[in-house]
Structure 1
């Protein structure tokens, strides 16, 4: 059984006007030792068009969604987590021991009551749904309770979302989070490591820019494919391959199998999720009376990428590496 540390009785929370900024003072009156090397200087970052200010680094944060949790762990901030929720996959092995020490508030999103019971001073989420009706409530309401919030830029409302998501947007998120928690130097070290891995992965596909990849996320009647501007396209662009449906608007888009056949991709990415397994996708394609004759299907030119590696976060580099290595290993890809 995990025991949550009690909040000192002198801690205070103060909220600023919601239309201006979200101010966090959580933990200012505690005697807890901050993470080694953390800066206590006030910080303001702009998130989804809203300034988010912290007077001091949060000490009792809660993460919602796997990418947010793993960014915190990759920055060595597990000791700042009062709780976490909503994984899509097993936590990265290198962070498993730290994760095991953090209270899990819910398998999916916790109720607002369960969230408040954890006495958070900050909530960090990856997907817009976390602050919606099925999540813990909107950000303004949490700000009214003195709880700061941050949402991954990839999950921001459309008007504040990056027009075309890139790995630099993921790195900007890592920098924001590190700044809020007073450890900016850790962000630079993590980003340098990830850039090096991405460069090495892309080098595996040097000259493969004409390899076309159909990114199939879900759907059999009208397949949902990676379009111009979200995580799938980000991963394909970073790996150095061509997105078969890069002309479609949005992060993902519904298309038709007839169009897929016309475009004749060299490779098909099968996203693997617990609710929509890659094996089932492969069986559908190979048993379909028409699709089984598509050269990529007939030639078994599939690359399987876990869903957890397709969301903006530290696993994006794994998605890039998996795609690059998969294409290199496939028979008959036009490299």
Structure 2
């Protein structure tokens, strides 16, 4: 089945069945394998401290001698991973929301200081006295962020960059690998495996309703831009669209996001348009713009008003994969979800 081939390659999900989606999280493929198990405790005996965990993160070898105690998260999707792993008490700061925190995580989120609406300055970061910084996007460790991972290491601050958000063509397996690594760094592997299995189970429920798709619907992702649209190319959304039974019309462009032409959008004739709800313009404003743009009047997506709104938080490489998949699948095949 075409829709599942790329997304579940690392876990062997060639056929979309519940059994394959419920494989152990230990089966996820990743090149960032730590060297040590978690600490263990025996009844009546003092806790045994875990050995250092070493892994390669985005080309940088990083050793975590012990579980971080004072973490700062940059970007919403990694903040939600930390909260979903029950690590709010290990967080001394967070920054950069795309929209609203998941309702089930909000109570814990409200306990964590918000350091900045966007990326905090280096001074603000250091004032929080962190021992670990977890960024969702490369920009978090860039010039407009808090400094490079190497610079943080020099002052004794460990770090982690979400690998699935920093690589070409990531799949859900790559997201699972990141969750696994955070679980190992914080010595909460069991909780990470539990979260991964829960996500797989929820995604399986949606996939089972989609069933077999012989001819995937062609999908155009509209992020922003009037003179020239910005769209999802070979990125995480392409994988989500594929498992939902669609095909990203610009998946041949070998980068994450790309500017294309309206003429090429028309040439590729999408059946459905996904509107990314992010930026200065509302989703409704984007929808009205697309529906009234003369050049698009004859494409099936506009003629049939097949437009799906997807929040950026759901389109990011985090715990919302089941939510994103359900939104996409219901938008692509509404009759199967009645």
TM-score surpassing 0.5?
Answer: yes
The runs of at least 4 aligned residues of structure 1 exceeding 6 Å deviation read none
Q: How far apart, CA to CA, are the structure 2 residues paired with 1:39 and 1:127? A: 31
The structure showing larger relative contact order (alpha-carbon pairs under 8 Å, at least 6 residues apart) is: 2
Deviation at 1:223, TM superposition (A): 1.2
TM-score by length of 2: 0.82
Select which of 289, 293, 318 maps to 1:288. Answer: 293
Select which of 192, 199, 203 maps to 2:204. Answer: 199
Select which of 143, 156, 161 maps to 1:133. Answer: 143
Q: How far apart, CA to CA, are the structure 1 residues paired with 2:277 and 2:200? A: 25
What's the counterpart of residue 160 of structure 2? 150
Deviation at 1:67, TM superposition (A): 0.9
TM-score by length of 1: 0.82
Q: How far apart, CA to CA, are the structure 1 residues paired with 2:241 and 2:137? A: 21
3-state SS of 1:271 partner:
strand
What's the counterpart of residue 80 of structure 2? 70
Q: How far apart, CA to CA, are the structure 2 residues paired with 1:215 and 1:94? A: 28
Deviation at 1:262, TM superposition (A): 1.7
How many aligned residue pairs are there? 289
Task: Trace 1:115-264 onto structure 2 (pairs within 5 A).
Answer: 115-156=125-166, 161=167, 163-208=168-213, 209-227=215-233, 229-264=234-269
Greater Cα offset, 321-330 or 189-198: 321-330
RMSD: 1.8
What's the counterpart of residue 312 of structure 1? 317
Q: Which consecutive unaligned segments of at least 5 residues does structure 1 have?
A: 1-36
Q: Which consecutive unaligned segments of at least 5 residues does structure 2 have?
A: 1-46
Q: How far apart, CA to CA, are the structure 1 residues paired with 2:97 and 2:69? A: 22
1:3-44, Cα deviation, whole Å (9 max, x unpaired): xxxxxxxxxxxxxxxxxxxxxxxxxxxxxxxxxx99733211
Task: Trace 1:38-53 onto structure 2 (pairs within 5 A).
Answer: 40-53=50-63
Greater Cα offset, 229-238 or 94-103: 229-238
Q: How far apart, CA to CA, are the structure 2 residues paired with 1:90 and 1:116? A: 26
Contact conserved, 1:54 with 1:180, CA < 8 A, in 2? Answer: yes
1:25-68, Cα deviation, whole Å (9 max, x unpaired): xxxxxxxxxxxx99733211210011111111000000011011
1:72-131, Cα deviation, whole Å (9 max, x unpaired): 001111110011111111111001011111111111111111111111000000011111
